[in-house]
Structure 1
Amino acid sequence: MSREVGLGLGTALLVFLALSGVDLAPLLFLAALSGGLYYIVRSRGPLLKNMDIAPAAAKQKITFADIGGQAAAIRELKEALDFIKEYNRVRDLGIRPLKGILFTGPPGTGKTMLARAAAAYIDSVFLAASGSEFVEMYAGVGAQRVRKLFAGAREMARRAGKQYALIFLDEIEILGGRRGQTTSHLEYDQTLNQLLVEMDGIKAADKVRVLVVGATNRVDMLDPALLRPGRFDRQVRVELPDRQGRLEILRLHTRNKPLAGDVNLEQIARETFGFSGAHLESLANEAAILAMREGVAQIHHRHFHEAVDKVMLGEVLDRRPSRQEMYRVAVHEAGHALVSELCQPGSVSSLTITPRGMALGYMRQAPRDDTYLYTREYMENQIAVMLGGLIAEEVLLGSRSTGAGNDLKQATALARQIIQSGMSELGVVEVESLPVEILHNALSNILNRQEQRLRSLIDQYAGVVQSVAAILVEQERISGDCLRRILQQAA
């Protein structure tokens, strides 16, 4: 009511001044400026209003049992959290309580879920914020938001009757980046300074003990003051899951889905090397979507097989190349598959010339075991696989095409890695200090040796490449088992 009265009086005053001959332009300008500033302040609002500040118990409760593929990270995290839970024992032993835990690792590996499970483990309230929410162009806003966040965490815990409050800061590299990097203004530095002050102010004797959990995939960007003992005391690596971890994650994400009897989760876990937990969740979801599109009541193995391609490459495209282009793509993919199968029998999972994303075709490998260390022989075989499509085009069709551009980049990167690892004829060298000509010659020698090897190999198996390419043009997809049968018949 008072707002309406004020607007009415203000309008009447403006009308009176206008009738009296007063120039209203300056007044209108000031009114518009004041209104704009008021709108900006109101739209920013209090930080906690936009944050995920509900107590962990009020949301769907996440425990460590709901997280798969991170046994080592969970074990290390639990040990750190036990220092908080067993406060009396820790105090008697003179152990300084932890103030901060930092999760580092690739995106999609479950850092946020681990933070939620940690809050449930110590029975605390849970507040989550992203680093980008703190920094704006207005000086002092970030530091004020940090103060409000810590004060709000303690107040929430008191209202909920909790002894602990867990503050989760995602993308902390934005909030806690190295000071002095931004010369335009000191807002970033002020915000980080306030975070350091708040973490220094955490005391073991506080009625509400605050634990700060940060997450980043760019730990190299963080300010050293944030990483020193007494702030983030523990760094927990959250890595991509291994094969057993992927199997656990798949089981977790398919426990509420009707699976057909032909679904082999162990095989899917083997074929998804390099997938994060987020990728695997998307894989299970896409498989269910494909089953729904078909109108079937259960999810079959073919749906998971198709979903792997969709997660890696994207949706099937409507565009269709000409038959001549399709045959070239088929020859290209058959060349990749032939070399892969000859270098490592049983490694080919499937081939397709169905356009997806940026790819006109794709050969999917299924490694027997996750590999983390590579010999020169293994890397040269992988270079050969990358170049197999290009050489198959050259031998069977008489020319190369631009479709091998990405293959060449990957092959060159592998050749460079051979040199960096001291496995080339140059011995142990620092690649950055090598003259350009010497580096170019070393890379060319590695790649040329594989090209010469492949020409004789594809000449020998030209009939196999042609047979596989013909099937691909007609069916657009064949399995690795089909390829192996054709190879056995040609032997």
Structure 2
Amino acid sequence: MRNYWKEMTIGFAVVLIAFLVFIGVNMIPVILMSLIGVLLIVAAKNRGHLATASGERKSRSRMPVQLSFEEIGGQERAKQELVEALDFLVKQEEIKKFGIRPLKGILLTGPPGTGKTLLAKAAAFYTDSVYVAASGSEFVEMYVGVGAGRIRDLFKDAKQKAAKAGKTSAVIFIDEIDVIGGKRDGGQHREYDQTLNQLLTEMDGIHTSETPKILLIAATNRKEMLDSALIRPGRFDRHIQVDLPDKKGREHILRIHAKNKPLHESVDLMKIAEESFGFSGAQLESVMNEAAIYAMREQSATINHPHLSMAIDKVMMGEKTDREATKEERERVALHELGHAITAELVRPGSVSTVVLSPRGQALGYVRHNPQQDQYLYTREFLEGQIMIALGGAAAEELFYGGRSTGSRGDFEQATNIVRTMVESGLTELGIIDGSMMTPDGWAKINSSMLDQLMDRTKSLLNEYRSVFTSSLEVLIQEESLSGERFRELLDSPKGEHPPKGEHPPKSPFSKGDPKGSALWTPETV
């Protein structure tokens, strides 16, 4: 039975107050005292809540940090720069000998999942320092002055913990510092400004001769958002870019996360690193974890290459879905993806890893490319080839159905983004031009001119391989997947002619670069 004692008490109090007022008793002092009591109770609860939150932060900061730089893969340059910056805490005599001013702050910038937090933890371990961590969101409150107070408490807490632990230094790590360190525009965000001003004051108050020494490490994905007063020399003296790992770095990360997993002896992690172009360290860890889940699901004793391949698809595209497509839709999707695959194979021989006809994430089918070499500079010919690959699906639909479908929307977005890159890089007939000076009509004109021309080239190229569409379509519909090797076997005889073994099909005249160049794309969506 429900307990109504609270409602009954409130009701009795209301009736009693009404009765006393009715008989002429002055209830104003009683009411005021009651309100003051309620406010005091609420304030006490809030202080208790803040103390609990502070205790949780303190308990997190007390956790010992046992992570070395050797356990972080794929960031050799970033680790080297960070170690040089940390040496003022480790090699103090050498620092004094050369008259080097110790650093106060180190800013780690880069995409999400690249290991910025891990580097901060490894920095504390390398310098034998107390590690105190906080997130930018912890300093944001609706009450003015709370954020600034928490900044003061953070630095005070770091000094006290270092002294208590007998350490000579402390590392303070603030993640997502752009939350409190954003540019000040004189607007209404006074609380943010006070928090940032307090952080600047605390950094100016870090004296290199005091003990324990304080080093502030901050991380952000958006360096351009930070206030110039925060990132100037004398505060954040060193800015370290933590980029996505290259192929060698990806292999190193995969090996680190494979140490406690039963990999089959036939698994080649270098090949997995090639297939995971553009993956961050967090994504690579997820690939190994998902592969282990697939192996456990199949009750396999070891993790095999197919498990890792499926894991890459899942991390890149999402889990398989139960969407049922009609026969006509499946054929259109298959032809669309074959258009991407044939174009990619002709423009970049050997680049197609898998052609898949099964719903995954938001895609009804996709092509996964297999870049064999990381590439960071692109010529006009290379980018035109990428546009042709993006347009290959729509071109195939036009060849076989006389029109396109909504499945080409994502492809067109990719193509127009490449055109914008080419214009801003001076790789079009417009020459060197500032993209911000282009009018909407100007963008529309250059987009239409380039994409229409490359679409015609793509359709002309695919029209010569109609027989490949026919032979591949039947296999793809039946098996729902074509490996790169199997697809290249079907492509080797587009007109019934069998080229010598090991010889690639005729190379497209639009590809003048390295035939094994890196593909830019994640799998095409439909």
Q: Judge same fold: TM > 0.5, yes or no.
A: yes
Q: 2:290 aligns with which of 286, 289, 308?
A: 286
Pairwise CA distance, 1:93: 3.1
Pairwise CA distance, 1:19: 7.2
Q: Deviations over 1:25-51 (max 9, x none)?
A: 665555444433433332223664232
Pairwise CA distance, 1:197: 1.0
Q: 1:35 aligns with which of 17, 41, 44?
A: 41
Q: 2:375 aligns with which of 366, 371, 381?
A: 371
Q: 2:84 aligns with which of 69, 79, 83?
A: 79
In structure 2, what residue type is equivalent to 1:444?
S
In structure 2, what residue type is equivalent to 1:41?
R
Correspondence 1:357 to 2:350: no
- The match for 1:460 is 464
- The match for 1:422 is 426
Aligned-partner Cα distance in 1 for 2:291–2:220? 30
Q: Which runs of 5+ in 1 are unaligned?
A: 1-11
Correspondence 1:486 to 2:490: yes
Q: 1:255 aligns with which of 249, 252, 259?
A: 259
- The match for 1:232 is 236
Q: 2:268 aligns with which of 264, 273, 293?
A: 264
Distance 1:435 1:198, change over 3 A: closer
Aligned-partner Cα distance in 1 for 2:354–2:337? 10
Correspondence 1:399 to 2:394: no
Preserved CA contact (<8 Å) 1:54 1:126 = no
Q: Which runs of 5+ in 2 are unaligned?
A: 1-11, 498-526
- The match for 1:44 is 50
In structure 2, what residue type is equivalent to 1:167?
I
Q: Secondary structure of 2:219's match?
A: strand
In structure 2, what residue type is equivalent to 1:248?
H
Pairwise CA distance, 1:88: 2.8
- The match for 2:249 is 245
Q: 1:205 aligns with which of 187, 205, 209?
A: 209
Aligned-partner Cα distance in 2 for 1:375–1:475? 37
Q: Deviations over 1:302-358 (max 9, x none)?
A: 000000110011010011111111111000000000000000110000011111111
- The match for 1:172 is 177
Give the share of equivalent positions with the same residue, in percent.
Answer: 48
Q: Deviations over 1:151-203 (max 9, x none)?
A: 1101101111101110000001111111235x224111111111111111111
In structure 2, what residue type is equivalent to 1:45?
A
Aligned-partner Cα distance in 1 for 2:209–2:59? 24
Pairwise CA distance, 1:269: 0.4
Aligned-partner Cα distance in 2 for 1:47–1:140? 17
Q: 1:195 aligns with which of 183, 196, 199?
A: 199
Correspondence 1:326 to 2:363: no
Q: Secondary structure of 2:375's match?
A: coil
Q: Deviations over 1:397-436 (max 9, x none)?
A: 2221101100011011111211111111111111221233
- The match for 2:96 is 91
TM-score (ref. length: structure 2): 0.87
Number of residue pairs aligned between Structure 1 and Structure 2: 480
Pairwise CA distance, 1:84: 1.7
Distance 1:465 1:52, change over 3 A: farther
Distance 1:435 1:149, change over 3 A: closer
In structure 1, what residue type is equivalent to 2:440?
V
In structure 2, what residue type is equivalent to 1:129?
A
Q: Secondary structure of 1:296's match?
A: coil
Preserved CA contact (<8 Å) 1:84 1:98 = no
Distance 1:347 1:95, change over 3 A: same
In structure 1, what residue type is equivalent to 2:149?
Q
Pairwise CA distance, 1:270: 0.5
Aligned-partner Cα distance in 2 for 1:266–1:95? 42
Correspondence 1:61 to 2:61: no
In structure 2, what residue type is equivalent to 1:396?
F
Matches within 5 A, 1:116-155: 116-155=121-160
